[in-house]
C-alpha cells in the first residue's frame, strides 16, 4: 500500500566511482526511474568499529512508488557496498507537469 498521496517518491543512495554509473544505468535502462541526480558529498560514519571519512556521490532518484521494490532490488544488485543505503521518501506534492513526466518515462503499470 502506497503512503504517497500521489504515488511518487525520491530514493536516495550513496556510491563511489563506477558503482554510481552502474546504478544509474540499471535503474534508467529498466525504466524504474525518470531521473537520477548525482551530487559529490563527504560521508563520515563508523564501519566495523572504525571512524570513516569518505568521498562519495549522493544519488537522488525520482520514481514511482509502484516501482519501489524493483528499484530497490536493482540498486542493491548493482551496488558494491556490503550494506548499501537505500532510502525512500514519498513525495507529498509536486508540480503536476513534472509528475506526469515521471509517469511518461517510467515503465507502465
Q: Is residue 103 part of a domain?
A: no
31-41: pLDDT as tens digits:
999 999 999 99
In a domain? residue 3 = no
**Domain presence at residue 101:** no
Percent of the chain having pLDDT more than 90?
A: 89
- Residue 62 falls within a domain, yes or no? yes
How confident is the model over 84-94, as pLDDT tens digits?
Answer: 999 999 999 99
Q: How confident is the model at residue 108 (pLDDT cuts 50, 70, 90)?
A: confident
Number of domains in the chain: 1
Structural domain span for residue 83: 8-96
Query: Which residues, including other chains, have CB under 8 Å from residue 97's CB and lie 6 or more apart?
Result: none
Residue 75 in domain: yes
Q: For residue 89, tell me if it sits in a domain.
A: yes
Q: What is the CATH number of the domain that holds 41?
A: 3.30.70.120
Residue 55 near residue 4 (C-beta atoms within 8 A): no
Q: How far is CA 86 from CA 61, 79, 98, in A?
A: 10, 10, 23
Q: What confidence tens digit (pLDDT) does each residue in 75-86 have?
A: 999 999 999 999
Beta bridge partners of 60: 12, 37
Amino acid at each position: 500500500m502506497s503512503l504517497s498521496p500521489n504515488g511518487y517518491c525520491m530514493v536516495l543512495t550513496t556510491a563511489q566511482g563506477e558503482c554510481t554509473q552502474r546504478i544509474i544505468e540499471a535503474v534508467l535502462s529498466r525504466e524504474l526511474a525518470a531521473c537520477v541526480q548525482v551530487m559529490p558529498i563527504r560521508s563520515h560514519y563508523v564501519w566495523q568499529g572504525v571512524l570513516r571519512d569518505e568521498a562519495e556521490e549522493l544519488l537522488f532518484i525520482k520514481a514511482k512508488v509502484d516501482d519501489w521494490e524493483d528499484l530497490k532490488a536493482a540498486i542493491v544488485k548493482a551496488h558494491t557496498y556490503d550494506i548499501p543505503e537505500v532510502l525512500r521518501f514519498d513525495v507529498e506534492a509536486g508540480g503536476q507537469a513534472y509528475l506526469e513526466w515521471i509517469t511518461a518515462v517510467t515503465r507502465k503499470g
